[in-house]
Amino acid sequence: MSLQPGLYRHYKGPEYRVIGTAHHSETEEELVVYQALYGEYGLWVRPLSMFRETVEVDGQPVPRFALVQAEAELFGRP
């Protein structure tokens, strides 16, 4: 399962830049690597399955993170 790098909006409003995906060294779980575009601009990781899930807002399902603008991959594939 892959994820398009780019600008995403969290359902609560803040925006993040998805850098790409990585794998946990012990479990091989796929993780999303992303950067907050506010505050200290920290780097974060979250399981891909959680990043892609929907949450309920005012009784309606919405994506936890919604793609705003796709961007080219930072790290090319050989």
Residues 6+ apart with CB under 8 A from 21: 2, 3, 30, 31, 32, 33, 48
pLDDT band at 72 (very low <50, low <70, confident <90, very high): confident
Please count the other Cβ atoms lying within 10 Å of the Cβ belonging to residue 69: 11
Q: Which of 60, 51, 56 is nearest to 3 (CA)?
A: 51
The pTM (predicted TM-score) of the whole model is 0.88
Is 70 exceeded by the pLDDT of residue 35? yes
